[in-house]
Every structure is written in structure tokens, then in C-alpha cells.
Structure 1
Amino acid sequence: MSTEHAHHLDNPDASGPPPRFEVVATVPRAPQIPENAEAMTILVTLPPGSEGSPPHRHSGPAYGYVVEGEIVFELEGEPPRVIKAGQGFWEPGGDVIHYQDGNNLADAESAFVVTMFCAPGQPMLVPVSAEELEQRRDRRAPRP
């Protein structure tokens, strides 16, 4: 969704100020959502210095928003990046490895909300084995 999709509907019965809409993030080409997907929204709170989940993948796309602190986010083929409170992220799911979602802060919690669209009968996330990580290491962006 681009900023031209931001909107306000006049409400003649409103007694207070109108709601504010702010586009947090957009996805230029939304990924395919698995047929009959289960949508699930979770809040993840990472303790100070937490590395987050081990490398994994999701059966469908995921869209998220950092509500507190900052996280290190890394998908296969992309360099790690820091996402701060108030910023959004997404991942396509499927065969893409999600390498990192750890807390970038050593002295404070970080938290994010994520909505995932899981294929029916599939777990929310599937860990990637050390063997597969080695087989696909050429797909990981170079690290400093």
C-alpha cells in the first residue's frame, strides 16, 4: 500500500478528531498466500541480547512491526539489517531461510508483532538443519 492509499472517511456524527492513518510499510509485489492458510498474529518479546529464533523458514508470508527496541533481521540473499521501533518488515515465506530475528540491544528488551499466513497443517516455523545451512551457504549475503 502506498501513501496515496492512506485515507480518511468523513464522519458527520463524530464528536472528536478523526483517526490518523499512517503507512508503516509496503510490499511492492505481495507474495502468494497459501490456499486455506491460517493467519496468526503473535507478539515476540526478546530479552536483552537475545539471538532470537535459530535459522528457520515459514510456510507462507509474514508481515511484522517492531513495537519496542530494535531487532536484527536477515533473510536468505539479503544482508542483515536493523529494524527499529515504528518500522515494519515482511518476508515471503516458502523456501527462503530466515537467518536472524534477534534483539539488537544488549541492555533492553525488544518486541515485534508479526502476522503469518501458514499453510494448512504446517507449523508456524520450521528449523533449518546445520546440513542444509551448509548446502545453501552460497545463498547467504556476505557478512562483514
Structure 2
Amino acid sequence: MSDSTRQNRSNAWQTALTTLQEVSPPFIPAGAHAMTVVVEYPPGDPGAPPHRHSGPAFGYVLEGEMRFELEGEPERVVRAGEVFWEPGGDVIHYQDGNNRDDGPVRFTVTMLCEPGKPMLTVVDDEELAQRADRRAPRPEGRS
């Protein structure tokens, strides 16, 4: 590399990194592959039905507000610029819908998927009923 190339380089890379989240997932499926997606729901959309992922998932809200709820945890709102994650496996992801009725929610999710398994598996009503005791108490007026 020439001296002129070195002189034209920026040092911004040395301070450009901001850690948004750092977690230790409980497991990573053997032979997992990574998948990164962008999800966008229109105003007021409830999002995906209750589901699970075959491996851990890590996300970042790009725009709007997402209503987020995992089995055993209270519902919470994740706003633009905030992160979320879920362990995957047997844990039910109850909500990922748009918390607002005046604009879309957009978020990106990187999932470590078990080979040969779908990225998302919908949980049926029978299983939801069997596991109802694992769901955190719901805010009044919500089901």
C-alpha cells in the first residue's frame, strides 16, 4: 500500500462501532444457517400469529414501535433504535405486531435456523391452551 493511500484513509472505523446488544443464547442448532430478514407491518397490524423459531433470533427496530411478547415474559414495546432477541427452540413468541395505528413498524431480524426446519412455525390453539399457564399476565383488555 502506498503512503498516499495510507494518508487518505479515515480513522473513523476506530470509533464507528456501537454495541447494541450482547447476549449468550442458550443454544445454537447444530449446522445452523443464518437468515436476516426485514419485516414491515402496516399501522395497527397484529403481526404474525403465535409462533416459535428453531434457533435464536436477534432484532433491531428500524421504524415505529413493535409490541413484543415471549412466553413467560410480560409484553413490552420495542421502539425504533432498540433491540430485542429471543432464545428460539421451545419458547413461544406471542407478539411482534405494530404498536401504533398511525404508521408502519419495520424491523430486521437475524435468525440462526436449524437446517431443514422452517424459520417460523405457527403454534396451534390446542398447544396455546395447554401452555396458557406459561404466559405472563396480560394488560387489561388484551388477549
Asked if TM exceeds 0.5, the reply is yes
Identity %: 60
Residue 66 of structure 1 is matched in structure 2 by 61
The size of the alignment, in residue pairs, is: 132
CA distance in 2, matches of 1:143, 1:47: 23
1:49 aligns with 2:38: no
Superposed structure 1 runs of 4+ greater than 4 Å apart: none
What is the one-letter code of the residue matched to 1:26? E
Tell me which residue corresponds to 2:34: 39
TM-score by length of 1: 0.87
Once the two structures are superposed, what CA deviation does each residue of 1:14-36 show, in whole Å capped at 9, x if it has no partner?
54450311111221x32211011
Structure 1, unaligned runs of 5 or more? 1-11
1:4 corresponds to: none
- Cα root mean square deviation, aligned: 1.2
Per-residue Cα deviation, 1:38-92 (whole angstroms, up to 9, x for no partner): 2100000111101000000000000000010110000000000000011111000
The answer to whether residue 35 in structure 2 is matched with residue 23 in structure 1 is no
Q: Measure, in 2, the Cα distance between the counterparts of 1:43 and 1:13.
A: 38
Looking at structure 2, the residues matched to 14 and 25 of structure 1 have their Cα atoms a distance apart, in angstroms, of: 32
**8 Å CA contact 1:25, 1:87 repeated in 2:** no
**Distance of aligned partners of 1:21 and 1:134 in 2 relative to their CA distance in 1, 3 Å threshold:** same
